[in-house]
Amino acid sequence: MTGPQKNLAGKNFGRLTATHIETELSPDNKSRGQAKRGYWICQCSCGTQVRVRSDKLIHGKTISCGCLLTDIRRSRRPDRAILVAWSKATKAAIFAAKPTHQAIPLPPRKRGADSHHCLPQGTYARLFAEQNGACAICKDPPPVGQPLNLDHDHTTHQVRGLLCTGCNTGLGGFKDDIFRMALGMQYLTAQRPILIRGTKKIDV
């Protein structure tokens, strides 16, 4: 089954800064739908955005979009030696720091979530990472093995976020109407006589 991924969001790996995670099924497990491999979308200091496997970042194997190697090849001897030394030192430091990264959960497989809503592949995984695996409303994570629901506006069809089953059902019950929800809040906070065991009435 899928295991935890390292939370690399916002961390620097040489010239790369990890922004958000994407996942895909590893080739040898597609039929079973189990093992997933994490990839991070990274912003390079040269302005290029690249997709790098998480283990290559953690182990210091990839520290640029490829521009570092280009710079090394084009540099003259003194500058080239400096870049090579920086590259080796950076990779060593990243490898030594790998145990400090906190783990984040990978989303359970949500079959067809992206394609059903005509979204780019990896959208569900990106939202899951941005919400730290928790519901956008109640902030609670779903039960183990249960995916969050991809919530969308039924009028505009715009995706709003990921919700647990309870919150998603609640929005549906209120028909996505903020006025109904406001009336519900008013109802819950209103002061009224409270019946206890159906026999007594107490004014509060």
Same domain, 89 and 122: no
Which positions ≥6 away from 59 have C-beta within 8 Å? 94, 95, 98
CATH number, residue 138: 3.40.1800.10
188 versus 204: the higher-pLDDT residue is 188
Mean pLDDT of the chain: 79
Residue-level pLDDT at 115 = 60
> Domain of 138?
113-189
DSSP letter, residue 140: P
Residue-level pLDDT at 193 = 72
Asked if residue 51 belongs to a domain, the reply is: yes
Helix (H) or strand (E) holding 38: strand 36-44
Which positions ≥6 away from 108 have C-beta within 8 Å? 2, 142, 145, 146, 147
Same domain, 92 and 130: no
Asked if residue 41 belongs to a domain, the reply is: yes
Question: pLDDT class for 21, splitting at 50, 70, 90?
Answer: confident
Asked if 192 contacts 200 with a C-beta cutoff of 8 angstroms, the reply is no
Tell me the mean pLDDT in the region 11-29. 74
pLDDT for 89 beyond 80: yes
Asked if 26 contacts 37 with a C-beta cutoff of 8 angstroms, the reply is yes
Same domain, 23 and 78: yes
Same domain, 66 and 40: yes
Last residue within a domain, chosen from 63, 83, 104: 104
- Residue 19: helix, strand or coil by DSSP? strand
Same domain, 94 and 134: no
| Helical pair 77-97 and 67-74, crossing angle rounded to 10 deg | 150
C-alpha pair distances (Å), 179 with each of 43, 128, 153, 159, 168? 42, 29, 16, 21, 17
Asked if residue 195 belongs to a domain, the reply is: no
Same domain, 77 and 164: no
Same domain, 100 and 9: yes
Asked if residue 194 belongs to a domain, the reply is: no
Asked if residue 198 belongs to a domain, the reply is: no
Joined together, the tokens standing for residue 113 give 């979530």
Tell me the mean pLDDT in the region 183-198. 77
Same domain, 46 and 70: yes
Same domain, 93 and 118: no
pLDDT for 24 beyond 60: no
Question: pLDDT class for 32, splitting at 50, 70, 90?
Answer: very low
Joined together, the tokens standing for residue 118 give 């005509």
Number of separate domains in the chain:
2
Residue-level pLDDT at 54 = 86
